[in-house]
Amino acid sequence: MKRKTVFLMGPTAIGKTETAICLARKINAEIISCDSMQIYKGMDIITSKPSAVLRRNVNHHLIDVIAPTKEYNVSMYRRDALKKIKEVIKKGRIPLLAGGTGLYMSILIDGIFTLEQKNKSIREGLYRLAESRGNQYLHKRLQNIDPEAALKIHPNDTRRIVRALEVFKNTGKPISFLQKQRKGLNQEYDVKIFCLNMPREKLYKIIDERVDKMFARGIVSEAKKLLKSRLSKTASSAIGLRELKGYFDGLYDLEEVKHLIKRNTRLYAKRQLTWFRKDKRINWINISDKEEPKEVAERLWKELC
């Protein structure tokens, strides 16, 4: 029998952290973060990390791993997460991956496709063609050589069109064919994916309340300290940092900053849900804002039994 691996995903602020801890206790699991920002040290309030107390209750992995001045990418996460998954299983426990970064989830479950041989001159030539003749021209070329990929890539998505054409020119094989050769958790483990959801207006209210609490906890001081360093591109994109930098630069006051963080977090939650809805393997768990994490965990446990 395949070993079980569980994913608990969902939009920001919906209650994944507490629910994951309750579920982990019920199924003898250890939690592996599936969050692109909680990997960074010193970004506790901005990324809403689980507290040290909560982390002592259940083993957590891939939280507070590297300095925010260092870059961390998808392939590095995949390498580190796969290592942790094997370590957890070796202990006789279930890996419970919890977070909201859909891309991290996808590359673990489906594998990652990397082009070993990159050709800068080919790529630059394709971008020049896009500028001179337009995206539609390149998209038609892609339709001729890889109709399957062309169906999935929007004609205005220049980057992905160029990548697909570059792969074909380098390898002589369509990118859609090569992507099917990827190996992920699906081949080795019994993967269960759950995604929490609730009515949009309820979620947005929780998001607004969370932002207010972040200011009460000291997000301004945390951001000020972080912005003294030269942050990596990924770390500097965290919601809260960009907006507070505008405050420090005198562009707007704290009330405007609060408004911007709330708005941008709501937009981020919307993008997360859009990503997850594309994956038909996900089991959706609709919850109410009144449900306790232990109640949600009980429902998830019954789904797993």
Residue 234 shares a structural domain with residue 248: yes
Q: pLDDT tens digit string along 120-155?
A: 888 899 999 999 999 999 999 999 999 999 998 999
Q: What is the pLDDT of residue 115?
A: 59
Q: Residue 247 belongs to a domain with what CATH number?
A: 3.40.50.300
* Average pLDDT of the residues of the chain: 94
Q: What is the pLDDT of residue 41?
A: 97
Q: Residue 156 belongs to a domain with what CATH number?
A: 1.10.20.140
Q: Can you tell me the distance from the alpha carbon of 168 to that of 177, in angstroms, rounded to the nearest whole number? A: 10
Pairing of strands 94-99, 283-286: unpaired
Confidence of residue 214 (pLDDT cuts 50, 70, 90): very high
Q: What is the pLDDT of residue 114?
A: 65
Q: What is the pLDDT of residue 118?
A: 67
Q: Is the pLDDT of residue 98 over 80?
A: yes
Q: pLDDT tens digit string along 60-88?
A: 999 999 999 999 999 999 999 999 999 99
DSSP secondary-structure letter at 303? H
Residue 173 shares a structural domain with residue 200: no
Mean pLDDT for the stretch of residues 105-111: 93
Q: Is the pLDDT of residue 33 over 90?
A: yes
Confidence of residue 299 (pLDDT cuts 50, 70, 90): very high
Q: What is the pLDDT of residue 152?
A: 87
Residue 84 shares a structural domain with residue 164: no
3-state DSSP assignment of residue 59:
coil
Q: What is the pLDDT of residue 254?
A: 96
3-state DSSP assignment of residue 12:
coil
3-state DSSP assignment of residue 283:
strand
Q: What is the pLDDT of residue 177?
A: 85
Q: Which one of 128, 161, 179 terminates a domain?
A: 179
Confidence of residue 2 (pLDDT cuts 50, 70, 90): confident
Residue 80 shares a structural domain with residue 128: no
Residue 150 in tokens: 């062309």
Question: What burial class does residue 64 get, using C-beta atoms within 10 Å of its C-beta: 0-12 exposed, 13-18 middle, 19+ buried?
Answer: middle
3-state DSSP assignment of residue 61:
strand
Nearest to 298 by CA among 23, 31, 98, 99: 23
Amino acid identity at 258: K
Q: Is the pLDDT of residue 105 over 60?
A: yes
Residue 55 shares a structural domain with residue 146: no
Q: pLDDT tens digit string along 203-213?
A: 999 999 999 99
Q: What is the pLDDT of residue 287?
A: 97
Residue 84 shares a structural domain with residue 163: no
As for how many domains the chain has, the answer is 2
Residue 207 shares a structural domain with residue 126: no
Residue 103 shares a structural domain with residue 29: yes
Residue 11 shares a structural domain with residue 93: yes
Residue 105 shares a structural domain with residue 152: no
Q: pLDDT tens digit string along 149-191?
A: 999 899 999 988 998 999 898 888 888 887 777 788 988 899 9
157's torsion region: left (phi>0), alpha (psi -120 to 50) or beta? Answer: beta
3-state DSSP assignment of residue 81:
helix
Confidence of residue 116 (pLDDT cuts 50, 70, 90): low
CB 97 within 8 A of CB 34: yes
Pick 262 or 110 by higher pLDDT. 262
| Domain span including residue 148 | 120-179
Residue 83 shares a structural domain with residue 223: yes
Q: Is the pLDDT of residue 199 over 60?
A: yes
Concatenating the DSSP letter of every residue in 223-276 gives HHHHTTS---HHHHTSTTHHHHHHHHTTSS-HHHHHHHHHHHHHHHHHHHHHHH
Residue 156 shares a structural domain with residue 31: no
3-state DSSP assignment of residue 130:
helix
CB 97 within 8 A of CB 11: no
Q: Is the pLDDT of residue 1 over 60?
A: no
CB 196 within 8 A of CB 8: yes
